[in-house]
Amino acid sequence: MNNIKATITGVAGYVPEYRLTNDELAQMVDTSDEWIMTRIGIKERRILKGEGKGTSDMGAEAVKSLLEKTNTKPEEVDVLINCTVTPDMQFPATANIISDKVGIKNAFSFDLNAGCSGFLYGLETISKFVESGKYKKAVLVGADKMSSIVDYQDRATSPIFGDGAGAILVEPTTDESIGIMDSKLQSDGVGRIHLHQKAGGSVKPASHETVDAREHYIYQEGQPVFKWAVSKMADVSVEMMERNNITPDDLTWLVPHQANNRIIEATAKRMGIKKEQVMINIQKFGNTTAATLPLCLWEWEPQLKKGDNIILATFGAGFTWGSMYIKWGYDGK
């Protein structure tokens, strides 16, 4: 066993300019600002506009700004993983396209899909590459253009999702006081009946009929997903605290997936922590799927200090869920 740990050494994010407000959404479907704020906690979400623009464009913006702020040359990057459920196209991987757009030429790159848990699954995966000692500069991207699969005639799903991208640099460290300390990730495919995309895959390739039936959009049964999310995300986060002897006072930040403010509050309550210890930006960006965790880290980065105890937690399609304990690696500004 070597003593190399993986640590996050930089964070960047990108959100498109266009803000889809609840009031504008209420002109498209039968909903209201009051219902969305009470039941979900979202005020507006960003939407990527423009012909020919996709997930890779947002991912590339995030990676470009990450490389700049960490003084990393594109050719130094060894591996890039892009987590997404909305790839530019079925193949090739959007990670390949992002790498091409930012000039990353000496790396291998691939996509990872674990629904809204994509970024945490990606961090678990990429950290193992780094801990092996073989890879020195690893880039992890979480990027989703959810507006490409949201049905803006469906009031049950259209308020929830937004577009965005985040990226982090992961590097090796032998400093025992920082880095990725512990994690627990899980999945249960039984949950697929409650949250999926009906057509466009190998089971039901896209056709006139599937498009007419609007089967290329997100299908979600909100209530079962809600129940699973509340119990699984809280259980695994509490377990993360217990097995690492972290008391509520020891925890600097909880970084939860931003799917519903009520799910976030329930998780925080079960962990016994205060609202002030939780990163929440769902009101501004909605659920950006694989991008929620890095967008939180990006926004809070200036406040973070070396050694901060942080727990990341997610739940998403699959079902997939998990929690990770990290000790932050550097002082923000």
What binding mask, one character per residue, do residues 91-120 give for ligand UT7 by CB under 6 A, x or -?
-------------------------x----
How many Å apart are CA 16 and CA 59, to the nearest integer? 11
Q: Choose which of 19, 39, 101, 136 interacts with ligand UT7 (CB under 6 A).
A: 39
Q: Is 208 among the residues known to form the active site?
A: no
**Residue 83 catalytic?**
no
Task: Identify the CA nearest to 238 among candidates 325, 127, 158.
Answer: 325
Taking the least distance from each CB to ligand UT7, the nearer of 143 and 229 is: 229
Which amino acid appears at position 306 of this protein? K
Strand segments, DSSP code E, in the chain are 5-14, 18-21, 44-47, 79-83, 108-112, 138-145, 163-173, 179-187, 195-197, 218-220, 253-256, 309-316, 320-327
Site membership for ligand UT7, residue 293 (CB under 6 A): no
Q: How far is the CB of 223 from ligand UT7 (least distance, A)?
A: 5
Pick the catalytic residue from 82, 83, 194, 257. Answer: 257
Q: Which x/- pattern over 215-244 shows residues binding ligand UT7 (rule: CB under 6 A)?
A: -------xx-xx--x---------------
Q: Does the protein bind ligand UT7 through residue 159 (CB under 6 A)?
A: yes
* Angle, CA 163 vertex, CA 159 and CA 169 arms, to 5°: 140
* 196 lies in the site for ligand UT7, by CB under 6 A: no
Of residues 197, 203, 266, the one with CA closest to residue 229: 266
| Rounded CA separation 18/41 (Å) | 19
Question: Is 266 a residue that touches ligand UT7 (CB under 6 A)?
Answer: no
Residues 12, 16, 20: CA angle, nearest 5 degrees: 135
Of residues 40 and 80, the one with the C-beta less far from ligand UT7: 40
Q: Which residues make Cβ contacts (< 8 Å) with residue 49, sequence separation at least 6? A: 16, 18
- Is 35 an interacting residue with respect to ligand UT7 (CB under 6 A)? yes
* Least distance in angstroms from the C-beta of 85 to ligand UT7: 10
Q: What angle do CA 281, 80, 71 make, to 5 degrees?
A: 80
Distances (CA, A) of 73 to 67, 226, 268, 314: 7, 42, 39, 31
Give the C-alpha separation, 8 to 171, whole Å.
6
Please, are residues 324 and 124 in contact by the beta-carbon 8 Å criterion?
yes
Which residue in the set 67, 259, 268, 290 belongs to the binding site for ligand UT7 (CB under 6 A)? 259
Of the pair 48, 218, the CB lying nearest ligand UT7 is at 218
What is the per-residue binding string for ligand UT7 in 118-157, x denoting contact by CB under 6 A? Answer: -------------------------------------xx-
C-beta separation of 144 from 289 below 8 A: yes
Applying CB under 6 A, does 281 fall inside the site for ligand UT7?
no
Burial of 77 (0-12, 13-18, 19+ CB in 10 A): buried
Catalytic-residue membership of 22:
no
21 is an interface residue for ligand UT7 by CB under 6 A: no
Does the protein bind ligand UT7 through residue 85 (CB under 6 A)? no
Catalytic residue among 82, 116, 194, 309: 116
Minimal distance in Å, beta carbon 147 to ligand UT7?
A: 15
- Any idea which residues carry the catalytic annotation? 116, 257, 287
Contact residues for ligand UT7 (CB under 6 A)? 31, 35, 39-40, 116, 155-156, 159, 222-223, 225-226, 229, 259-260, 263, 287, 315-316
